[in-house]
Structure 1
Amino acid sequence: MVELLDLDLGRHSRRLHVDTLVRLRWLALFGQTAALLFTYFVLGFSLPLGLCLMVIAMSAALNIGLRITYGRVDQLNELPAAAVLAFDIIQLTALLYLTGGIENPFSMLFLAPIMISAVSLGGWITLSLTALMIAAASLLTVAHHPLPWFAGQTLELPLIYAAGLWTAHVVSASFIAIYLWLVALEARKLAEALTATELVLAREQHLTQLDGLAAAAAHELGTPLATVTLVVRDLEKQIPATDPLAEDVALLAQQVARCRNILGKLTSLGGDAGDILDEMTLSLMIEEVVGPQRDFGVKITIVENGEGRQPVARRNPGILYGLGNLIENAIDFAASEVRIAACWNASSVKLVIEDDGPGFSPDVIGRIGAPYVTTKTHRRAKSEDGAGLGLGLFIAKTLLERSGAFVATANVSPPKSGARITIVWQRAVFERGAAIQKPAALTVES
């Protein structure tokens, strides 16, 4: 899991595509230019048109520079993107300063850079840009050119009305920044967690493919080993038993036979009908995921209780990884024991994993299985840097649900304490991969 976290999956999700930013800025510049020309030539309002067009030209020059410097598929890091958005706020401030300040209806465009930052950039950058926008709005409230109006007339709004506009801008910017940043943060976390899940599946798939590679290697090595075997047999016939080299040749023959046995086993991996590799009973599946977890000082108790023959499932790396991760988390929190109860009947297969630790805390129990939800302060099974970031349970739950399981989390009922995770499959889904439906409940005897 640490290998996945070390990739810093969120780093690239907080970059802004240059092409997207340039297109948005051209749209804003065309809108500003059209509004100015319409106000000056159609409405006949008085305004410093030359200065206003100069301010717009400066922003257009920056757009041209971005297009020349970067390709269409390039992305801006957070700081350069923040600098461009800060320039847009300053440019809009200068334009509004010349055309009525905060009283100009187009002052609402202050919200555009804040929304872009909240969706695409980090929280501190969005906070800084919001503070810059508030400072600019404050300046425009008290200092600005008159609002464009008919020639020979001046439109002056009361200061209290301007203060109300300032308040509306500040509240709107703050709310939009917080809301969009939280929504974008959840979307980024989910995307990063899903990426990590795909990496886990790819890794498990590579491990599964090693069986086929081993079989192929065994076939390739078979011919040269057969040649070595013939040479050793000829040497055994030619060298007398009393010769000092006879003992070495005998040892060589023994090792050649051992190599042939090993290659025979490897060859059977690829030529086997699949029962050994592709199918496993429920008991074997549990033992395979529990085996590596028995050396962490926690007792692991397995109870099996079922009706009829034991379910036999196809080997699924996703199920093995998911169950292993859940058991590992139970060991992390257990005081002394982890209990695994397995039961089955003609329609359902159920696993219950319990520990005797403190259980899920009230603030996270409703969000268990969501990405980056964790309360870990230490880990028995993992001590590497980056462990315990909350992706493990998300990936485990996602993989198990993809296999057709229904996963539920709860705390053990008092007076006992601990966490309980219940995984239920329809037996047809577990054994043959039939249509996935929510399984019926199945009682597990304590």
Structure 2
Amino acid sequence: MKRRWLPSQWPADAAGRKNMALLVQLRWIAIAGQVATILFAHFVMDIRLPIAPMLVVAGVAAAVNIASFAVLRRRTDVAHQETFLSLLFDVLTLTALLYLSGGATNPFLSLYLLQVGLGALLLGQWAVWGIVLLSGTCAGLLSFFYRPLDLSEALEGHLFDLHIIGTWICLTMIAVLLVLFMGRVTRNLQAREAYLAELRQRAAEEEHIVRMGLLASGAAHELGTPLSQIAVVLGDWRHMPEITGHPALVEEVGEMQAAVQRCKAIVTGILLSSGEARGEAPTVTGVRDFVEGIARDWRAANPGNPLRCDFGPHDYPRIVADPVIRQAIFNLLDNAREAGATYIDMLVGRDSASLNIAVRDNGGGFSQEMLADFGKPYRSSKGKQGGGLGLFLVVNVVRKLGGSVSASNGAHGGAMVVLRLPFAAVGMEETSNGE
């Protein structure tokens, strides 16, 4: 199932994975910077460093980074504990390099602040204080335990100047990395918050649907009895001599009986949609029969409104004719009629994964506000109380099936709404078969 990749398709823990990926990128930058600094200081500045142990530390960091990248490619989520351990490893790696290069006298001691800043942004309260405690402890120990720098005679009198330059380089690097990294992390977190906000909105909408379903089901039960009584009375009237002797009255009684049958069909549809199918099994049928049946019933209920069906050159699998889908398409056709359309087309197509049904009309179309709020309850261009629930129900019915609904305006007026129904939810076969 695919939805929009806005916040809509955002996995719940995608922000953690993306942030870990950023940490991996940052570690590559750190490794490259460390190796370049070690080689420059040793071979250019003539500061005699223990090259082999320091390159081993950088090599271990690179190996861990390669392993982290391989794990991330197979993962869709990353826990806070894993991010915490990753930052702990970076603190220990930095400590090892500082120990081999002057300890607390090394101006790059300030790089501990980068790890603390990242921890404050990415971790919970207990974890970030763990990073602070470890960083502070390591920095303190480096004041007593370290390998002193082995400077050449030319640099002996310029140690303070070197420290000032190194401190400036370190602070500038920390500032640049924090701005770049924290900006990207903030965007990841904002996207996750937007995703969670959408989930809360969907939960509220689904609760709204449940309440409407309960009300509709209750109303359908309540209407069933009076409709049956009216049908019985009309049947008796039709056989009364006072009625049979007047053709005009016979015709009117027939129209009333047809209207009552239409009302009973609507009530039955509501009960079916609410899961009260009175024991009927779902109907397995062809796409063409299903769509043409909907069109036939809609034309009968709306005489004088032209409706054309186009199935294209495709073969379709057999599907389960869910009455909920039927009602959703009915809602779209009714909306097109109420928008003033003089013709309506139902266009049926397919791709490898879904059955696509489009309703196109030449009515007034959607306003930009309606398109922006498409599928939200009580967003309607009809200006009447309770409007907008038809499209709201359509969107949620299709979404429950794992599909999607999109709306657009035609280049020459009118509107088009497209339902994409996955064959995994409605089809009996996944391969193309003739009907």
Give the TM-score normalised by the residue count of structure 1: 0.40
Give the TM-score normalised by the residue count of structure 2: 0.40
